[in-house]
Structure 1
């Protein structure tokens, strides 16, 4: 609520917002996505993700600052590139290429690489599954899909959510988020689902991107309602439809929230250590879940 000029401020009033670094008389809740200094609406310059201050824009375009100025970075500390969606395009291409292989080579190819705990699969002479030493299934299942509808929906989600997130994080951090979130979804599915229940799809990784996007939007003080509404709709489908591995969705979402928080809130002086350290912690959780389930099945 706005406060009338001259009205007293009690000890319970909320603390005031920071002021724009160029206009100290103007309070603002927006910060530059590169240098993180507070900026008012007059100083905000629209960028691929969020806003930048005039100084960072000039530095980034190379129009008149010292030659030793620091390299422009994304909000999470990644390198700004000429094509901020390149990795998203590559991931979509890989998923489509693998789906084409599924259509060409048939069920035997899918059966070899989809996520499976431990079961007898027709056409194979031995038991198949992660518990049989086929740990690669935790990763390869992330690039398989069960139908045209499945891959179209996932790839559209990857394009809409992944592109802006890649621009905000940078390629290396974005790839780490995608892969580790997907593995978290695979590991939770392996841990909880029936040992003979097959699972496949990029949904675990994409739910990780959903979680990280929500954290990023909160960090930038964006309106959270659109992403929360989209997430709720996806969760309704997750639990309301049959033949959906909800474990992969929840595992990916939790992994994405944890990693996303580290990506956008890590202190600048130890940014990479914290970001990749948290990715490592989530990977340890993936290994622990995998070992526990394997011990139960062998």
Structure 2
């Protein structure tokens, strides 16, 4: 709940003091957004204020995940991707990742998904083809993830990331080639771009810079060979939808008398779970259909 308006559920928080606040009480800053009380101090140094369960109008269910001083989940995701890349490189004895057994076992290839190896829908998002590939993705993950994680909290941030990753895999399964090898965190990262766009819209800040970045990246996805546009678009759509479910859906579906922190949190998580189920259902369903089609043809 907003610390100044206890009747307003919010998924945003001040990046200086950490208090949850609605868009009316936040102003854009160089990094994240600051509440109007912090801005009144006009740069005066203060220690971070963390809401306690006794604070007026703040629900324990919202206060805990809203405050994060460091983007620990983003650091963890970067570390996980780097460790997996290093392991694959050691197995391959170089950077020809197809020589890595782990890469072969985890990459997203439609016929192998059709063979029942559904874990590839998830694991492909933690593989990378080259040093350049992982470097660009991890830099993007750091830039996008650090503020987004602080804004919406670690659990929901990870929920959006996972939804976008599986959404990108679903798009590849639905519309992609049966012979292509797909791998990379870019589907999830495009999902974070979509999430940032939704946060900006919720904060009533001009979305033009974010939209420009998204359009530029989509153009690059089309013009540079070997990049999976489908994974990018799928991740973008699912990541934006998951974040909209967190920030907008509660006010759309909950009446004013039922709109409290706990109910808003439930609605947001229901949206994430539904999108996860849809993404997995698309991936698995296309895999089963692909397998049946090829059995009939054969």
TM over 0.5: yes
The answer on whether the counterparts of 2:118 and 2:284 sit within 8 Å (CA) in structure 1 is no
Q: Distance in 2 between matches of 1:244 and 1:76?
A: 40
The answer on whether the counterparts of 1:185 and 1:251 sit within 8 Å (CA) in structure 2 is yes
Higher Cα radius of gyration: 1
Which residue is 1:90 aligned to?
76
Q: Is the aligned partner of 1:271 residue 2:258? A: no
Instruction: Pick closer, same or farther for the CA change 1:214–1:95 going to 2, 3 Å.
Output: same
Instruction: Pick closer, same or farther for the CA change 1:132–1:81 going to 2, 3 Å.
Output: same
Alpha carbon RMSD of aligned pairs, Å? 3.3
Which residue is 2:126 aligned to?
143
Q: Is the aligned partner of 1:177 residue 2:160? A: yes
Q: Distance in 2 between matches of 1:76 and 1:68?
A: 9
Q: Distance in 2 between matches of 1:52 and 1:194?
A: 48
Q: Distance in 2 between matches of 1:245 and 1:45?
A: 33
Larger helix percent: 2
Count of equivalent residues? 255
Unaligned runs of 5+ in 1: 1-20, 23-30, 119-128
The answer on whether the counterparts of 1:49 and 1:168 sit within 8 Å (CA) in structure 2 is yes
Which residue is 1:18 aligned to?
none
The answer on whether the counterparts of 2:53 and 2:63 sit within 8 Å (CA) in structure 1 is no
Instruction: Pick closer, same or farther for the CA change 1:197–1:252 going to 2, 3 Å.
Output: same
The alpha carbon displacement at 1:69 in A equals 3.6
In the TM superposition, 1:1-298 aligns within 5 A as: 34-36=20-22, 38-39=24-25, 49-54=32-37, 61=49, 67-69=54-56, 78-83=65-70, 85-106=71-92, 107=99, 108-118=101-111, 129-265=112-248, 266-267=250-251, 268-269=259-260, 270-298=263-291
The alpha carbon displacement at 1:197 in A equals 1.2
Q: Does 1 or 2 have the higher relative contact order (CA < 8 Å, sep 6+)?
A: 2
1:78 aligns to what SS in structure 2?
helix
The answer on whether the counterparts of 1:59 and 1:69 sit within 8 Å (CA) in structure 2 is no
The alpha carbon displacement at 1:62 in A equals 6.8
The answer on whether the counterparts of 1:193 and 1:247 sit within 8 Å (CA) in structure 2 is yes
After TM superposition, the score normalised by the length of structure 2 is 0.76
Q: Distance in 1 between matches of 2:194 and 2:133?
A: 20
Instruction: Pick closer, same or farther for the CA change 1:242–1:51 going to 2, 3 Å.
Output: same
The alpha carbon displacement at 1:71 in A equals 5.2
The answer on whether the counterparts of 2:187 and 2:233 sit within 8 Å (CA) in structure 1 is yes
Q: Distance in 1 between matches of 2:280 and 2:180?
A: 20
The alpha carbon displacement at 1:297 in A equals 1.9
Instruction: Pick closer, same or farther for the CA change 1:274–1:77 going to 2, 3 Å.
Output: farther
